[in-house]
Amino acid sequence: MTIRTIAIAAGVALLTAGAALTLQAKQFGGPANCNGLPTAGELHVLLAAAPGQGGSAGGLFNGTRMWGAVVNRDGELCAASTSTVDPTQVWPGSQAIAKAKAYTANAFSLDTFALSTARLYTFTQPGRSLNSLGQSNPFDPDALAPPSGANGGERQINGGMIFFGGGLPLYKDGKIVGGLGVSGDTSCADHEIAKRVRNAAGMNPAGGATADDITYTVPDGASAFTHPKCINTWRNGIQLAGSEQPAVGY
């Protein structure tokens, strides 16, 4: 093969790679349709106000140190924010969890079927029917913002599967329009704060704020939708008896 032939082949390869990248940008790089969903600034206000609405949220911090995220119906990240002015005072690991909860709640809910991430807990445990569901849509680390909390994952599908409290679908005029994820406390407290944020935003499903509420064996009875209790568990402003079970057999 001559040097000229090698050069031509290399040029064709580069052009092909460039075309593939251009196609990918056209498919996935457009602006997200976030009309009607909370902006990052609005989400911050909703998160900051939620602990003071409806009594204690329980957990470790009463829901005062939260990451929140909103995705649209396509799963694209529309907004992310913390409840605190200083994002570094919220667990850094909660950012990815909040974004994954938003993605999960939106991914498995419909106009007529609101499914919170809390209600997926039992289905996804070992030996249950959806045990491997978490492997289906891994989280994209490119969706993470730096410790400052600025940007990170905007207009992209971050993915991620989370199966405990804190993720809720969002509705407008009876239609699902996206998902909300909240993380930064116990999973039970995360759910309570998410519920308050969705309610304050006026984005509940047709069945109301508690249509996809978290349920516990006591007092609700065991079912396929049951979630375990956490440390200092509260629901709708009422403290529930029982707590996270102590370790055994170590």
| 241 has a pLDDT exceeding 80 | yes
| 102 has a pLDDT exceeding 70 | yes
Helix-, strand-, coil-residue percentages of the chain, each rounded to 5: 35, 15, 50
Q: Higher-confidence residue: 103 or 21?
A: 103
Task: Quote the CA–CA distance of 103 and 72 in Å, as a whole number.
Answer: 9
pLDDT tens-digit readout, 70-85: 999 999 999 999 999 9
Residue spans of the domains in the chain: they are: 40-239
Mean pLDDT of the chain: 88
DSSP 178: E
Residue carrying structure tokens 């570094």: 88
Which CATH number is 40-239's, of 3.30.450.150, 3.40.50.10860, 3.40.50.150, 3.90.1150.10? 3.30.450.150
| 138 has a pLDDT exceeding 70 | yes
Q: What is the pLDDT of residue 23?
A: 31
Would you place residue 181 in the very low, low, confident or very high pLDDT band (cuts 50, 70, 90)?
very high
CB environment 70-106: b (16+ within 10 A), e (fewer): bbbbebbbbbbbbbbeebeebeeebbbbbbbbbbbbb
Side-chain half-sphere CA neighbours of 65 within 13 A: 15
The reported pTM is 0.85
| 9 has a pLDDT exceeding 60 | no
Task: Quote the CA–CA distance of 81 and 68 in Å, as a whole number.
Answer: 5
Residue carrying structure tokens 């006591």: 218
Would you place residue 32 in the very low, low, confident or very high pLDDT band (cuts 50, 70, 90)?
low
